[in-house]
Structure 1
Amino acid sequence: MKMRLIIPGLIVAIAFSACNQSAKTIGSDTADSTSVGTPPTADLKDEHTQKVYNSYLKLKDVLVASDSSGASEAGKELAVALGAIKGCENTSTLATKISASADLKTQRTHFTALSSDIVDLMKHTDVNSGALYVQFCPMANEGAGGYWLAAEKEVRNPYYGDEMLNCGEVKETIGIGKN
């Protein structure tokens, strides 16, 4: 009987510690570390793609802060920015789905597919200066994992917010100044 209780506890402990094995960052994990509106560190050559990137970062930041109403607003802004780019209609629809939901879990689920499209878009855009960081959390989406873009190397997980703020790692750097 005791083994039935111990094994699930060990599995949860191992899964949680896997995310905490990523590089530790300087600073604390307090609420101020999830502030919204981090200025983008990359300057893109195309102004429409720049608007998408800026809007995407706002959405990512409000998901980090677990702010579902902020995600709805940011999703609307991103949908408009994506609508200005030919071929991004389906991705704009994903942003609209985020804006139409008040449920944080649903928003984060749509964010997974949206991020995949946005990462692909950014990989095919020209960067004047700075870098974009493709980050990944193996725990997101019930263990299926999830990618997202960030303006900084420091991991701030949009799939879990404060629950697992630093779960993830940088998988790729797009742009100038790759380290």
Structure 2
Amino acid sequence: MRGRHSGGVSLPDAASRGADSKKVYPSSNPMKSILSLFALTSFAIAFSPFPAQAEEDHAMHVLKGYLNVANALYEDDLAAAKEAAASITDHDADSALAEPATKVADAENLATAREAFKALSAKAIELAKGHGDHYTVMHCPMVKGGGGDWLSADGKVNNPYFGPKMPHCGGPKK
């Protein structure tokens, strides 16, 4: 059998393969294989979500749920506050916010929900510190036990601790 040399691999010539055969024999060059594998791996890494982005997305989802709880309490809407709190635990039962969110979700009245909201806010504020400056920490000095803090995404003082009774009591915490 006669052959010709191509890229380190001996290929049969057309006469010995038959004129209609179009077989292709890949090169056995190990450097090309390594480079191909490197390129494929680099491509996969470049287009996969990074853990930091996944963590940021998770934090934003949890904080969005928290803001929905705060807004519902501001509007004296216990059902909406409970639903928003449940969404936090549904998304991540292991989150630092899960326990206080469960207490809000299980609250039987607005007063109990607002008491639980104080602990939820403390955890949300800690979470928000590591995720940019999208939030303002607000403080109401009228909340029993040294005042109450909460996060605001728009800088407005919409007090979730007193709702319509004292809707704008408080301000940015210094």
TM-score, normalised to structure 2's length? 0.64
What are the residue-to-residue correspondences of 1:132-171 with 2, within 5 Å? 132-140=135-143, 142=144, 144-171=146-173
Aligned match for 2:108, one of 102, 119, 129: 102
Corresponding residue of 1:75: 85
Task: Kindly indicate whether the alpha-carbon contact (under 8 Å) linking 1:64 and 1:165 is maintained by their aligned counterparts in 2.
Answer: yes
Question: What RMSD over aligned residues (CA atoms) do the two structures have, in Å?
Answer: 1.9
Task: Kindly indicate whether the alpha-carbon contact (under 8 Å) linking 1:98 and 1:107 is maintained by their aligned counterparts in 2.
Answer: yes
Give 1:72's aligned amino acid: K
CA drift of 1:81 comes to: 3.0
Q: What whole-Å deviation, never above 9, does each CA across 1:148-175 have from its counterpart, x for those lacking one?
A: 0011112000000010001001126xxx
**How many residue pairs end up in the alignment?**
121
What are the residue-to-residue correspondences of 1:1-179 with 2, within 5 Å? 46-83=56-93, 88-89=95-96, 91-125=97-131, 127=132, 131-140=134-143, 142=144, 144-171=146-173
SS of the counterpart of 2:135?
strand
Task: Kindly indicate whether the alpha-carbon contact (under 8 Å) linking 1:119 and 1:134 is maintained by their aligned counterparts in 2.
Answer: yes
SS of the counterpart of 1:101?
coil
Corresponding residue of 1:4: none
Deviating above 4 A after TM superposition, structure 1's stretches of 4 or more consecutive aligned residues are none
CA drift of 1:45 comes to: 7.0
Distance in 1, matches of 2:104 and 2:91, equals 14
Higher RCO, 1 vs 2 (CA within 8 Å, ≥6 residues apart) = 1
Distance in 2, matches of 1:82 and 1:163, equals 33
Distance in 1, matches of 2:55 and 2:99, equals 25
SS of the counterpart of 1:72?
helix
Distance in 1, matches of 2:69 and 2:162, equals 14
Give 1:151's aligned amino acid: A
Structure 2: tracts of 5 or more residues without a match: 1-53
Distance in 1, matches of 2:126 and 2:91, equals 16
TM-score, normalised to structure 1's length? 0.63
Question: Radius of gyration: which is bigger?
Answer: 2
CA drift of 1:58 comes to: 0.6
